[in-house]
Amino acid sequence: MSLIGRHHALPEDLLVHRVFEAHARQHPDRTALTCGDEQLNFAELNARANRFAHHLIAAGAGRGSVIGVCLDRTPDLLVAILGTLKAGAAYVPLDPTYPAERLRLMISQLDEIKLNVASAETRALIAGAPGELLLLDDLAGHLESLPATDPVVDLSNDDLCYVVFTSGSTGTPKATAVRHEGWYNLLEWLRVEYALDGSASGLTVSSFGFDISQRGLMAPLFCGAALHLLPSRMFDPGMAYRLIETHGVRQLHCAPSTLYVLIDHEQALGTDALTRVGHVFIGGEPLTVARIEEWAAQDGNSCVLLHQYGVAECTDVATSHVLADHSRYRGAATPVGKPVYNTEIRLLDDELNEVPDGETGEICISGLSVSAGYLNASPADSRRFTELADAGGPVRIYRTGDRGYLTPDGELVVVGRVDAQVKIRGMRMDLGDVEHGVRSHPLVDDAVVVALPDASGELRLVGFVLPAAGAIDARALYRDLLDTLPLNMVPQEFKVLDAFPLNPNGKTDRRALAALAAA
């Protein structure tokens, strides 16, 4: 059985930044961006992005180029993103919250990188990276002399717009190349399906490196609405809540963990600004409905919660479900809904045949949202993108590695992973990638990492390590790993063993380790 998203006719030109340009022409004085005390209207933001685009073009960037962007949440971040798109290139989010070693590893996977955009505050994070370094602080005077007009660049719908990294099982992150047509289709679906217009202002709350952040940054501008930037490198719930209240934010894109924190903050204050947000689009990790039910069901809450499922390899969102009648989700998995426009979900067995109705299969995605694939990936990773024979010709699909089934009313439910990938607070990762990072510590001889639900049902990572020599201080190991791995990938707990238990096949018994961690 498969789910087919509603066909939605799209224009010939599927370039997201040109929609932004159209808003700048039609509503030049409308607020486009705020960040702290700074505010830019659509005309001002467009002009700044145009000047930067002309600089990139003069520097040799263009169609097929890949440009790294390592900037904090400031207006320059949107200038760099929009300017890169206008120049015909694709941008790569290089999250300043990541350790420098992780950023260097990511950049090393991209032979295509031509330029890296940074600020005085972030340049050290990508020091030594290949490609020319552009410091926006130093370019300010020069950019003012460049044309403020939209550059004319020939682009096609299947050109790349951004490249976002996912986690890899070998310790090497994978660069997923997203195409303009997929991103446009997603943002158009959001705009039309949920009637988002010039009043649907948004607030960024997720880290720049997440795939969810790319739509969170662009969706308001695509709708002709204001984007409010959280002027803090790390997520500050108090500041975020104040901005929601002050600006009357109408759309949020975040992981459930972020929503839980915002709800807790609102309930502690006894206020109701979050209940007036028009739409909250949540995804990236399993939702614990019990964490939101009391807040969502209270009288006067007009916020619509959308529980979504997707992967970076298919432009972030594949399905969506409106959360209502929350008691029905108690003790059961929460549906993630039906496909977005021009997208199809298939549940397949190991031989890529569709499973019978009601049975669990691997979730495979086809349609406009399927990305161009991985850049410089291993053959094994690339095989996740494959083709199925179909009456109308071959159909390109992405095998997500997630398992799911369809409810009788035709909604997708995700039940787990085919392999060892997990999602921790919205970040999708392979446990093998985490293990590789732990093993890289000089005091660790070997490591196995398991993911277990805590008392609230959220996953936590527990690392089992064999010492290379002498004793290992678990707290010191945790602190050291924060310098090489993103926070979500550092196990919250470590247990030091003399040897790993083995199963009858002579392999490490992960079930036994999981039982030990739960004990």
User: Which domains does the chain carry?
Assistant: 2-338 (3.40.50.12780), 342-400 (2.30.38.10), 421-518 (3.30.300.30)
Tokens of 369: 């949202």
Tokens of 423: 């999602």
438-448 tens-digit pLDDT: 988 988 878 88
d(CA 496, CA 503): 19
Q: Which residues lie below 8 Å from residue 134, measured CB to CB, with a gap of 6+?
A: 59, 115, 116, 117, 118
329-346 tens-digit pLDDT: 765 678 999 999 999 999
Q: Which of 454, 451, 482 is nearest to 464 (CA)?
A: 451
Q: Which of 10, 7, 1 is nearest to 367 (CA)?
A: 7
C-beta contacts of 502-509 below 8 A and 24+ residues apart: 508/448
Q: Would you say residue 8 has pLDDT above 50?
A: yes
3-state secondary structure of 391: coil
Q: Would you say residue 45 has pLDDT above 90?
A: yes
d(CA 164, CA 97): 15
Q: Which residues pair with 216 in a beta bridge?
A: none
pLDDT category, 2, cuts 50, 70, 90?
A: confident
Q: Which letter does DSSP use for residue 446 in this model?
A: E
Q: What is the pTM of this model?
A: 0.84
227-283 tens-digit pLDDT: 999 999 888 999 999 999 999 999 999 988 889 889 999 999 999 999 999 999 998
186-206 tens-digit pLDDT: 999 999 999 999 999 999 998
Place of tokens 């030049």: 28
The beta strand positions in 257-301, using DSSP E, are: 279-282
Q: What Cα–Cα distance (Å) separates residue 433 from each residue in 428, 439, 446?
A: 11, 10, 13
CA 378 to chain CA mean position, Å: 22
